[in-house]
Chains A and B, each alone.
Chain A
């Protein structure tokens, strides 16, 4: 069964304290790993798509990396406005990106 597991469930950081979020997946024939950010009361907002092991993408203080079994979302010198729930998702084996399987998310809190 295709699965996506995120850890930790929750993370509290001081402003400026860098850290990483983990997303491990079990799916054969990966057709993309997607990272989203979700603020309370809002829909998920797209951040990155990674397709192959070794690929990296960056956006402001965020950098996403991908290996054959997991992805990391590195947050460098976070600010309070980075506080949100971060979700990762993959399409199931043989499926398209319209059928995403999501992890349960990591709730990030950045304390001033």
Chain B
């Protein structure tokens, strides 16, 4: 099992550009989540999904979109990147009642 994979590992964007951060898991987990990690702020939940076709907002959803068309994939879309979205993004997955398992992260810089 590869576990949770994320691409790309690094990305530099200009303000106003859009992009999609990819996340995939091969553990057949129902639940998937996106977090961002900023210095001094800890990990904060952006969006989450409890199954294919079901998504909801977390603590900091503004500027981000998600969809979940399959169990395996949960992409995060930045519609119009802003410098405030410079961060490290982590995807996680879990089964009901189990812990979350995290991917290796995507480091995003918005200029």
Contact = CB atoms under 8 A, between A and B. Distances in A.
B100 A105 contact: no
Given A98-B48, A98-B94, A87 B43 contact: yes
A45 interface: yes
A97 B33 CA distance: 10
A97 B97 contact: yes
Interface in A55-104: 87, 89, 96-104
Contacts of A89: 43
B98 A44 contact: no
Interface residues of B, number: 28
Most chain-B Cβ atoms within 10 A of its Cβ — which of A98, A101, A105? A98
A43 B42 contact: no
A49 interface: yes
Query: Does more than half of chain A's interface fall in helix, strand or loop, or is it mixed?
Result: loop
A104 B37 CA distance: 10
A45 B101 CA distance: 7
Contacts of B92: 43, 98
A102 B42 contact: yes
Given A103-B42, A104-B42, A96 B103 contact: no
Contact of B100 (A98, A101, A103): A98
Contacts of A96: 31, 50, 96
A105 B41 CA distance: 9
4 closest A-B pairs by beta carbon, nearest first, are A43-B102, A98-B31, A102-B43, A104-B42
